[in-house]
Amino acid sequence: MKKKKSLINSFKYALNGIVLALKNERNLKIHFLVMILVIIMGIVFKISNLEWIICILLFGLVISLELVNTAIEKTVDIAMPEINEKAKVAKDVSAGAVLISAISSAIIGFLIFIPKIF
């Protein structure tokens, strides 16, 4: 019984983390808004199952990286509250990972939706 309770708590903690990040992180709000818009466009333009799979994978990638970026930034802020070049590199690199995934996802999104729009 203890394992079941622990598993349920794990999900509660994870969902709490997502909610906290969504409430406090502007970029995560933007990513969620874009995700909702893409879902609406996917329904309107009747994208294929393969295109849905690609979109869902990209939603997961970008949002997961944004959550990891937030965790890295908060951890660095706790460990190194004063300005430090190595701390800045850690934060900038994690933000860069999110940016690369978002740009790649946008390009793929355009490749999926532009032909359907025109």
**CA-to-CA distance for 3 and 63, rounded, in angstroms?**
28
- CA distances 52 to 28, 38, 100, 104, Å, are 21, 10, 21, 16
Kindly name the residue from 25, 51, 66, 73 that is annotated as catalytic.
66
Q: Does 66 participate in catalysis according to the annotation?
A: yes
Q: Token pair of 109, please?
A: 């999104």
Which residues are annotated as catalytic? 66
